[in-house]
Amino acid sequence: MGWLSMPLASMGGHTSPKQYLDAQFTYERAEADEQPAHGYRVLESACPGNRVYYAAVQRYEDDVPGEVTAIICLVRWNPKAADGFVFAYKDMSESMGPCEAACPLRVLERLTSTNDPNALDWRRRCFATLRRRQRDVPDGALIRFAQPISFSDHSQHQLMRVSRQGRRIVLSSSDGRGRYRVSDLLDRKFEIVRERRIAPTIFT
């Protein structure tokens, strides 16, 4: 499915991508010939940064709950769009194996088991993302990236020193020079280098 774009007036009174998509994926359809109605409910959702929407959606039939699967939507949100089309989205199911794999734990925990190989791979990648983001990177640590990173001052560094400033992480070269910010640091591949500690000599 391609992108669906719309102005704010077409969002049904919803003022954010999350509100609109929660409503879109919560619905009920009555069957003909007195067959039981079926539908979907959003049990948990998130749209971090208004860039990617993740939802745990449960199918039900005749009000009997069924499996819970994930829906992922790429999101474009620009309230100041010159053409008035402030919102666009492209929806996918987890069985399509989306590249976006940063689903919050509270959404993943609502999903029921599956045998779909694409969905299982997507869930595995999401948990791997969570583990990376939970890594402890202590102040003063020396880290080594998988590949050198280029910066605007035309320097390249693969080995860098960590400096924590509250919740912010600032990097410098391994010898302490410069101040650098690396976007999505915890999503990148790096290792913490074990440094050799030389014990001080004590004279008696």
- Residue-wise pLDDT tens digits, 24-83: 999 877 666 666 678 999 999 999 999 999 999 999 988 789 999 999 999 999 999 999
In this structure, the answer to whether residues 24 and 94 fall within a common structural domain is: yes
CA distances from 176 to 62, 108, 130, 150 (A): 65, 40, 30, 17
Q: Which of 111, 133, 155 marks a domain boundary?
A: 133
Q: Which of 133, 157, 175 marks a domain boundary?
A: 133
Q: Which of 116, 133, 150 marks a domain boundary?
A: 133
The verdict on residue 203 lying in a domain is no
Q: Please state the pTM of the whole predicted model.
A: 0.80
- Please give the residue range of the domain that contains residue 88: 4-133
- Specify the number of domains making up the chain: 2
Task: Answer positive or negative: Cα dihedral of 132, 72, 28, 9.
Answer: positive
The verdict on residue 168 lying in a domain is yes
The verdict on residue 127 lying in a domain is yes
Instruction: Report residue 196's pLDDT band, with 50, 70 and 90 as the boundaries.
Output: confident
The verdict on residue 197 lying in a domain is no
In this structure, the answer to whether residues 105 and 36 fall within a common structural domain is: yes
The verdict on residue 198 lying in a domain is no
The per-residue pLDDT for 48 is: 94
- Mean pLDDT taken over the chain: 91
In this structure, the answer to whether residues 51 and 77 fall within a common structural domain is: yes
Buried residues in 167-192 as b, exposed as e (16+ CB within 10 A): eebebeeeeeeeebebeebeeeebee
In this structure, the answer to whether residues 118 and 78 fall within a common structural domain is: yes
Report pLDDT digits (tens) over 124-178.
999 999 998 888 889 999 999 999 999 999 999 999 999 998 888 999 998 888 9
